[in-house]
Chain A
Amino acid sequence: AQSVSQHNHHVILSEAASLELGCNYSYGGTVNLFWYVQYPGQHLQLLLKYFSGDPLVKGIKGFEAEFIKSKFSFNLRKPSVQWSDTAEYFCAVSYDYKLSFGAGTTVTVRA
């Protein structure tokens, strides 16, 4: 069974700081990769996805992620965070139709 590992449980940073969240997965075949975000009190929303092609993908709200096949990684980045980025972030992997999620990283941005 595939597994997804997120490196940080809780990240605290100030506005305008850069953010990078790590994600590694265990499956060795062709995978689809996702980052979801859950703002307080809201449902999971898709930030970005990678299926194939350019390994650097851009998502909504200034987020981007880089797929590095050799490292089985799909790290999420944002150059300058805002207070409104406070949320829980989930990395997910799929090789068929169902998603396997990491445990999530809570990001707190201080004004």
Chain B
Amino acid sequence: DTGVSQDPRHKITKRGQNVTFRCDPISEHNRLYWYRQTLGQGPEFLTYFQNEAQLEKSRLLSDRFSAERPKGSFSTLEIQRTEQGDSAMYLCASSLVETREAFFGQGTRLTVV
């Protein structure tokens, strides 16, 4: 499968713990995005990379959130000191600059208990 891959698919964690998610984009895609989706809502933009550079972060991304894309390949999204409000589906997408069409992964569903 050459699509966008996310790991893990599901994560249950206790409040206050740190969690890290991984995204492997389509190999030739130079843009990578993170979105968050809560029940009954569409995905909301969190942050975006072009190659290894993080070019924008949404105001939704508090200081507890950090994202990296070392070497412009896979990306990680870390949430420190998780809160119940962090429970959501975290989606990763990738695209080429030229085509502007984003391909989404299946997401990581986070439940904070």
Contacts and interface: CB of A to CB of B under 8 A. Distances in A.
**Could you say which interface size class chain B belongs to?**
20 to 34
Contacts, number: 48
Given A97-B31, A98-B48, A46 B101 contact: yes
A43 B3 CA distance: 10
Contacts of B110: none
Interface string B37-52: 0001111110010000
A102 to B, nearest CB: 5
A27 interface: no
A70 interface: no
B42 A94 contact: no
**Could you say which interface size class chain A belongs to?**
20 to 34
B45 A99 contact: yes
Contacts of B106: 42-43
A102 B104 CA distance: 16
A51 B102 CA distance: 14
Interface string A77-111: 00000000000001010100111111110000000
Interface in B76-99: 91, 93, 95
